[in-house]
Structure 1
Amino acid sequence: MASSGVNRWLRPEVYPLFAALGVAIGICGFQLVRNICINPEVRVNKERRAAGVLENYAEGEKYAEHFLRKFVRNKRPEIMPSINSFFTDPDRN
């Protein structure tokens, strides 16, 4: 009885589903750990919770302006810019 359940779910057709779920769970876990560890608004320690509302804008700016956001700020939102410019640029045709 148990082997039929294993045979049902461990077929090669469901490997992409497991991969997609694994990536989604990994992203959620990363964001959870990131927020708990470095978010200035999340306070786990009792001493930090007792501080109340902090007006620490520099720490919040550092958290919000992380490396990836700085990297993509001046980039065009394209996946394949060379192919897009080939088909949309009238000067090249």
Structure 2
Amino acid sequence: MAGRWVKPEVFPLFAAVGAVVGLCSMQLVRNICTNPEVRVTKENRSAGVLQNFEEGEKYAQHGLRKYVRGRRPEVMPNLNKFFSDPK
């Protein structure tokens, strides 16, 4: 039974599914731990609606967003320059 699933052709599928599960888990943990609108403990839930705009801005402008803010939206900039810039 296991020999039917463990073939070299299936490894890329395992890698893709593993990467997606990892990304979803990371986003779930990030939301539970750092999202200002998520309150897990009973003491925090009893606080009601908080007007903490600074914390919300800090959550929305995370490190990856700050890193790509001034960059051009290209996947392979060197390859794009090679084919688009005349010599």
- TM-score band, normalised by shorter chain: over 0.9
1:43 alignment partner, one of 39, 50, 60 = 39
| Cα distance between partner residues in 1 of 2:53 and 2:10 | 47
CA RMSD of aligned residues (A): 0.9
Q: Which runs of 5+ in 1 are unaligned?
A: none
Larger radius of gyration: 1
Q: Deviations over 1:24-57 (max 9, x none)?
A: 0000111111100111000001111111111000
Name the CA distance, whole Å, in 2 between partners of 1:54 and 1:30.
25
Gap runs ≥5 in structure 2: none
TM-score normalised according to structure 1 size: 0.88
1:15 corresponds to: 11
Any runs of at least 4 consecutive aligned residues in structure 1 with deviations exceeding 6 A, and if so which?
none
TM-score, scaled relative to structure 2? 0.94
| Number of residue pairs matched by the alignment | 87
Q: State the percentage of identical aligned residues.
A: 64
